[in-house]
């Protein structure tokens, strides 16, 4: 097992390198560069000034030199400085945005799991019942409704009309003066709408997945055996069927690891939450290469680890799949 | 699973509620506990220190050193933290700021500045001419990534005469030189011998201005506190908080919920959504022309647009009043020249081309454009009059304007296609390469009238700004004269003539100047709109004691 993990880890290196080469090339192929914001259509800029700024960022060198430089710094875990006008360390920019994005994504994943799994199981057990159809409509509604629109409606209702919840942001303006308990409550109040919106859109995938797995499992011989033994339906479903149906969910969880640091631009924009989605979007728009690469590398590493984790967990959970050393 | 049913029910109610909630006056005055009671007596409205203003901004600032910043969100903040040597007053005239006065030598080559004595940086250090010298040096330093070096590169020599007197000597007389010293002066004692792009002052600035930096939470808010020792006196409002809310609809909801005091409205929000009694009681709206205009530029290298008369005909065919009414909901003015209509430099007597489709058609026919094959599109030498307008993505006002132009020109037999392109690709692949027929874009109108970069015949190479390739030796001469003349009245003559020629040539169809539409909570008093806008005397804005909403602890 350990040997297997070690082998997988070693194999990750070329994959990761490949990802960075492709990302770097594709990124550079997009028209425009980080100096555009400063120089384009600016009457105060002449050719010489533009070249000066390009040289400052090392953009006057051939692309392979730029990549080699970036890679060398990366090997020492130096993400470099952002090309955006703020000139900040990329690692700082990412670090200040990751906590809120992680918090929202973990909470929403938790909400999705607690709602989608029961929905999936029950609609499989009561296939074609009213409940099955109703939940199908419900989860697909969540999937189909544009999140920014629903978000605005909820803000009008709970923020402006009823004044139960704050409208945007993730903490109050007087946050610094609150006690710890009040702080937690304050953030919780701010997160109700964002977490609801982001979970609502994600229900469909997992619940449908769960439903089809469950249908598959219920047809198996051992379920018939369990029923023939005279076990009550609850034990059959939750103890024998569901545990097996849950196996593929591990894969999904593994794959959602990189998603935990990825935010949604639209959603963060509507709620004015400074998360990773906005950071990445702005970096792309500004052609802020070091930040783009920083986010991509972290994402790539997490994806690879997520995959590995899923495979390992899977073999631990399912005796039929054992890794042969 | 009852919780799901519940949610279902909630959802349905919600959709209905939300649909109704856009009806006008959805929030009666007085229902809201936060709304202000009107003051009883006039003496209750006296200026008082205290309170906080919360402003909404769609973008976060990027860097709080004016030399490095290039976005308006950053300048909104640095404008309160730093001072230049000079500034524009409410009537758009240059007056002293950190300099009490200045002398310009008779040959117009030397400007000598006399600094205001006793000015201190927010950290207590005194301001001296060393700071001015440092600021000059950092702007012209080739390693500084700044967009504003050009004006300072014209300085041949900078001299410090004593701690309060310094002078800049120019190679050639350059009229915008004085105005270039309105750039924020930086503290040399904190920046000297440092790489400016790595300075902590980028995020924790120290200036001489009316407000000093307190806190910046990226993507969330920037907080400034009033500087009690400010040389023009302590500002009345104790704290300025800028909240970053990237979505205008969300920002508007925050305003309605009483958690914002100031934002810029869209034309739609201004005319349709803020006309309720509740808004009228709790907010005041302002409206004045912004320093920018939108235009349709013709690529003069294209054979179709080489005739002046054709361009005049196109302008005549475009219903610009209609565009202002339809796209801006009347909140703007038709543009005729590249200057702002209500300013000193504007020439109101230029040739205008009012909307007249019949006359436009006739003008085009005189130029040989006739519909010979009866397909409704004019043609000449067997080629139809068809062209594509390109504009950048993400600007609905421009997109809608293009659609109206398309319809207007179709009426006179000109077929227009519209192409909307992402900004970076738009510039790099189309504008910079001159790979377009017509473009719909806007320019900011500088306070100084110098516009050499946009119109000069020599500024036509790739990446330069005369991308329509306009060439007129007379205009070149006038702009040069304008840039080297210090006397305002004499200078205006050159720009008046320049505007006459531009209006006659119609290299652009000047479309409109949009209004700025700020809305501010009515508890703020002392706001006096002027030609330059409303925020020029921000330090005099105040909230009477009885109306103060926030108590600010330092």
Say yes or no for a CB contact (<8 Å) between A86 and B220.
no
E strand or H helix that includes residue B454: helix B452-455
Question: Given this model, what pLDDT does residue B379 score?
Answer: 92
Structure-token match 């609801």, residue found: A196
Q: Which two tokens mark B116?
A: 């205001």
Q: Are A251 and A318 in contact (CB under 8 A)?
A: no
Say yes or no for a CB contact (<8 Å) between B427 and A87.
no
Interface of A with B in 123-152 (CB under 8 A): 131, 134-135, 138, 141, 148, 152
> Does residue B29 register a pLDDT over 50?
no
Say yes or no for a CB contact (<8 Å) between A85 and B453.
no
CA-to-CA separations, B293 to B387, B431, B505, B530, in angstroms, rounded: 23, 18, 18, 19
Say yes or no for a CB contact (<8 Å) between A269 and B150.
no
Q: Given A39, A42, A52, which is nearest B142 (Cβ)?
A: A52
pLDDT digits (tens, 9 = 90+) for B290-321: 999 999 999 999 999 999 999 999 999 999 99
Say yes or no for a CB contact (<8 Å) between B4 and A119.
yes
Nearest C-alpha of chain B: how many angstroms from A153? 6
Work out the end-to-end distance of chain B between its first and last CA atoms, rounded to an integer number of angstroms. Answer: 51
Give the β-pairing of B438-444 and B386-392: parallel
Q: Are B479 and B456 in contact (CB under 8 A)?
A: yes
Tell me, yes or no, whether A297 lies in a domain: no
Total number of domains in chain A: 1
E-assigned strand segments in B235-375: 239-244, 262-264, 283-285, 288-289, 292-298, 332-334
Structure-token match 């400052």, residue found: A56
Q: Rounded distance, CA B498 to CA B479, Å?
A: 7
Q: pTM here?
A: 0.83
Q: What is the mean pLDDT of chain B?
A: 88
Tell me, yes or no, whether A181 lies in a domain: yes
What is the gyration radius of the CA atoms in chain B, in angstroms? Answer: 27
Question: Given this model, what pLDDT does residue A37 score?
Answer: 65
Q: Rounded distance, CA B75 to CA B59, Å?
A: 12
Q: Rounded distance, CA B451 to CA B446, Å?
A: 8
> Does residue B41 register a pLDDT over 60?
no
Give the β-pairing of B518-521 and B283-285: antiparallel
Q: Rounded distance, CA B504 to CA B442, Å?
A: 20
Structure-token match 């369990």, residue found: A226
Q: Rounded distance, CA A133 to CA A126, Å?
A: 10
Q: Rounded distance, CA B461 to CA B469, Å?
A: 9
E strand or H helix that includes residue B86: strand B86-88
Nearest residue on chain B to A154, alpha-carbon basis: B14
Q: Are A165 and A191 in contact (CB under 8 A)?
A: no
E-assigned strand segments in B365-435: 379-380, 383-384, 386-392, 415-421
Q: What DSSP designation does B185 have?
A: P
Q: Which two tokens mark A299?
A: 């994402």
Q: Rounded distance, CA B503 to CA A74, Å?
A: 56
**Which residues does chain B have within 8 Å of residue A38's beta carbon, measured at their own beta carbons?**
70, 145-147
> Does residue B35 register a pLDDT over 90?
no
**Length, in residues, of chain A:** 325
Per-residue pLDDT of chain A (325 residues; tens, 9 = 90+): 788 888 888 988 999 999 999 999 998 888 777 877 667 766 666 777 778 778 888 888 888 999 999 999 888 888 888 888 788 899 999 999 989 998 998 999 899 989 998 898 889 888 889 999 999 999 999 889 988 899 999 999 998 888 899 988 888 888 888 888 999 999 999 999 999 998 988 888 888 888 988 888 888 888 888 888 888 888 888 888 888 888 878 777 777 877 777 777 888 889 999 999 889 988 888 888 999 999 999 888 888 888 888 888 877 777 776 655 4
Q: What is the ipTM of this complex?
A: 0.82
**Which residues does chain A have within 8 Å of residue B18's beta carbon, measured at their own beta carbons?**
153, 156-157
Report yes or no: A60 at the B interface, CB cutoff 8 Å.
Answer: no
Nearest residue on chain B to A87, alpha-carbon basis: B197
Nearest C-alpha of chain A: how many angstroms from B148? 6
Tell me, yes or no, whether A187 lies in a domain: yes
Please indicate whether residue B289 or residue A234 has the higher confidence score (pLDDT): B289
Q: Which two tokens mark B39?
A: 């003051």
Nearest residue on chain A to B150, alpha-carbon basis: A44
Question: Given this model, what pLDDT does residue B30 score?
Answer: 36
Tell me, yes or no, whether A72 lies in a domain: no
Which band of pLDDT confidence, cut at 50, 70 and 90, is reported for residue B2? Answer: very low
Tell me, yes or no, whether A48 lies in a domain: no
Those residues whose C-beta lies under 8 Å from the C-beta of residue A15, and which sit 6 or more positions away, are A304
Report yes or no: A5 at the B interface, CB cutoff 8 Å.
Answer: no
> Does residue B27 register a pLDDT over 90?
no
Structure-token match 């300072």, residue found: B152
Q: Rounded distance, CA B430 to CA B424, Å?
A: 10
Tell me, yes or no, whether A124 lies in a domain: yes
Q: Given A86, A156, A274, which is nearest B63 (Cβ)?
A: A86
> Does residue B7 register a pLDDT over 60?
no
E strand or H helix that includes residue B155: strand B155-162
Tell me, yes or no, whether A50 lies in a domain: no
> Does residue B14 register a pLDDT over 70?
no
Tell me, yes or no, whether A323 lies in a domain: no
Domain interval for residue A161: 99-253
For B73, counting Cβ atoms within 10 Å of its Cβ (0-12 exposed, 13-18 middle, 19+ buried), the class is middle
Q: Are B156 and B171 in contact (CB under 8 A)?
A: yes
Report yes or no: A179 at the B interface, CB cutoff 8 Å.
Answer: no
Angle (CA) B412-B395-B276 rounded to 5° is 100
Those residues whose C-beta lies under 8 Å from the C-beta of residue B511, and which sit 6 or more positions away, are B293, B294, B295, B296, B318, B320, B323, B334, B335, B401
CB atoms within 10 A of CB A242: 21
Alpha helices of chain A — where are they, by DSSP H? Answer: 2-29, 36-39, 47-56, 63-75, 90-125, 130-144, 147-154, 180-218, 221-228, 233-235, 242-245, 247-255, 265-271, 276-286, 289-317
């Amino acid at each position: 097992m350990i040997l297997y993990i070690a082998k997988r880890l070693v194999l990750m290196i070329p994959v990761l390198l490949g990802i960075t080469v492709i990302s770097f090339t594709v990124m550079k192929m997009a028209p425009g560069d980080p100096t555009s914001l400063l120089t384009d259509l600016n009457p105060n800029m002449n050719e010489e000034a533009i070249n000066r700024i390009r040289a400052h960022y090392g953009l006057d060198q051939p692309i392979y030199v730029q990549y080699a430089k970036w890679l060398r710094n990366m090997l020492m875990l130096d993400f470099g400085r952002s090309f955006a006008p703020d000139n900040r360390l990329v690692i700082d920019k990412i670090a200040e945005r990751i906590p809120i994005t992680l918090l929202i994504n973990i909470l929403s994943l938790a909400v999705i799991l607690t709602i989608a799994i029961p929905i999936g199981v029950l609609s499989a057990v009561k296939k074609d019942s009213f409940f099955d159809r109703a939940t199908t409509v419900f989860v697909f509604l969540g999937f189909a409704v544009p999140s920014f629109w629903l978000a605005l409606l909820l803000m009008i209702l709970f923020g402006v009309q009823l004044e139960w919840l704050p409208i945007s942001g993730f903490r109050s303006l007087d946050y610094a003066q609150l006690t710890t308990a009040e702080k937690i409550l304050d953030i919780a109040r701010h997160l109700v709408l964002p977490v609801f919106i982001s979970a609502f859109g994600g229900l469909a995938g997992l619940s449908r997945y769960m439903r089809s797995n469950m249908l598959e499992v219920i047809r198996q011989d051992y379920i018939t055996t369990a029923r023939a033994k005279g076990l009550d339906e609850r034990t059959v479903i939750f103890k024998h069927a569901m545990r097996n149906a849950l196996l593929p969910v591990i894969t999904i969880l593994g794959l959602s690891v990189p998603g935990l640091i990825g935010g949604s631009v639209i959603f963060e924009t509507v709620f004015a939450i400074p998360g990773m989605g906005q950071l990445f979007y702005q970096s792309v728009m500004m052609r802020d290469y070091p930040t783009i690469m920083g986010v991509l590398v972290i994402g790539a590493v997490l994806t690879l680890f997520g995959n590995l984790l899923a495979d390992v967990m899977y073999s631990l959970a399912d005796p039929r799949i054992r890794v042969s050393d | 699973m009852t919780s799901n049913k519940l949610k279902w029910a909630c959802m349905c109610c919600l959709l209905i509620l939300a649909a109704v909630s856009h009806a006008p006056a959805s929030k009666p005055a007085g229902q809201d506990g936060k709304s202000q009671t009107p003051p009883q007596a006039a003496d209750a409205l006296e200026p008082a220190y205290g309170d906080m203003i919360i402003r909404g901004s769609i973008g976060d600032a990027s860097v709080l050193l004016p030399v490095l910043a290039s976005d308006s969100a950053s300048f909104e903040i640095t404008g309160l933290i730093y001072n230049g040597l000079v500034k524009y007053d409410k009537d758009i005239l240059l007056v002293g700021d950190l300099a009490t006065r200045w002398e310009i030598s008779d040959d117009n080559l030397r400007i000598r500045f006399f600094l205001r004595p006793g000015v201190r940086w927010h950290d207590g250090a005194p301001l001296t001419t060393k700071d001015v010298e440092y600021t000059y040096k950092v702007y012209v330093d080739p390693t500084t990534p700044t967009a504003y070096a050009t004006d300072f590169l014209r300085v041949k020599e900078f001299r410090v005469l004593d701690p309060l007197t310094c002078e800049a000597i120019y190679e050639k007389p350059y009229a915008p030189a004085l105005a270039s010293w309105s750039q924020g002066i930086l503290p040399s004692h904190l920046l000297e011998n440092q790489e400016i792009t790595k300075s902590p002052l980028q995020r924790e600035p120290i200036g001489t201005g009316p407000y000093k930096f307190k806190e910046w939470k990226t993507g969330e808010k920037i907080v400034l506190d009033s500087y009690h020792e400010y040389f023009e006196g302590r500002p009345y409002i104790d704290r300025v908080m800028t909240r970053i809310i990237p979505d205008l609809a969300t920002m508007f909801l925050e305003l309605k919920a009483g958690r914002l005091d100031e934002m810029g409205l869209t034309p739609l929000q201004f005319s349709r959504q803020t006309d309720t009694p509740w808004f009228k009681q709790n907010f005041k709206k302002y409206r004045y022309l912004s320093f920018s205009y939108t235009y349709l530029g013709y690529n003069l290298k294209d054979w179709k647009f080489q005739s002046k008369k054709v361009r005049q005909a196109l302008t005549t065919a475009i219903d610009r009043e209609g565009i202002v009414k339809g796209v801006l909901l009347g909140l703007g003015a038709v543009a005729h020249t590249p200057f702002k209509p209500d300013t000193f430099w504007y020439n109101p007597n230029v040739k205008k081309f009012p909307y007249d489709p019949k006359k436009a058609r006739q003008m085009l026919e005189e130029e040989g454009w006739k519909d010979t094959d009866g397909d409704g599109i004019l043609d000449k030498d067997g080629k139809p009059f068809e062209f594509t307008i390109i504009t950048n993505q993400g600007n609905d006002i421009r997109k809608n304007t293009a659609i109206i132009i398309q319809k207007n020109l179709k009426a006179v037999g000109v077929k227009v296609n519209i192409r909307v392109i992402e900004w970076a690709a738009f510039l790099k692949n189309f504008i910079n390469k001159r790979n377009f027929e017509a473009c719909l874009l806007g320019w900011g109108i500088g306070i100084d009238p110098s516009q050499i970069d946009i119109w000069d015949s020599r500024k036509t190479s790739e990446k330069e700004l005369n991308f329509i390739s306009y060439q007129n030796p007379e205009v070149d001469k006038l702009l040069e004269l304008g840039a080297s003349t210090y006397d305002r009245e004499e200078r205006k003559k050159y720009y008046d003539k320049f505007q006459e020629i531009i209006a006659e040539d119609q290299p652009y169809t000047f479309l409109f100047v949009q209004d700025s539409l700020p809305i501010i909570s009515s508890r703020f008093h002392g706001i006096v709109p002027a030609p330059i806008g409303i925020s020029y005397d921000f330090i005099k804005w105040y909230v009477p004691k009885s109306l103060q909403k926030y108590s600010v602890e330092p």
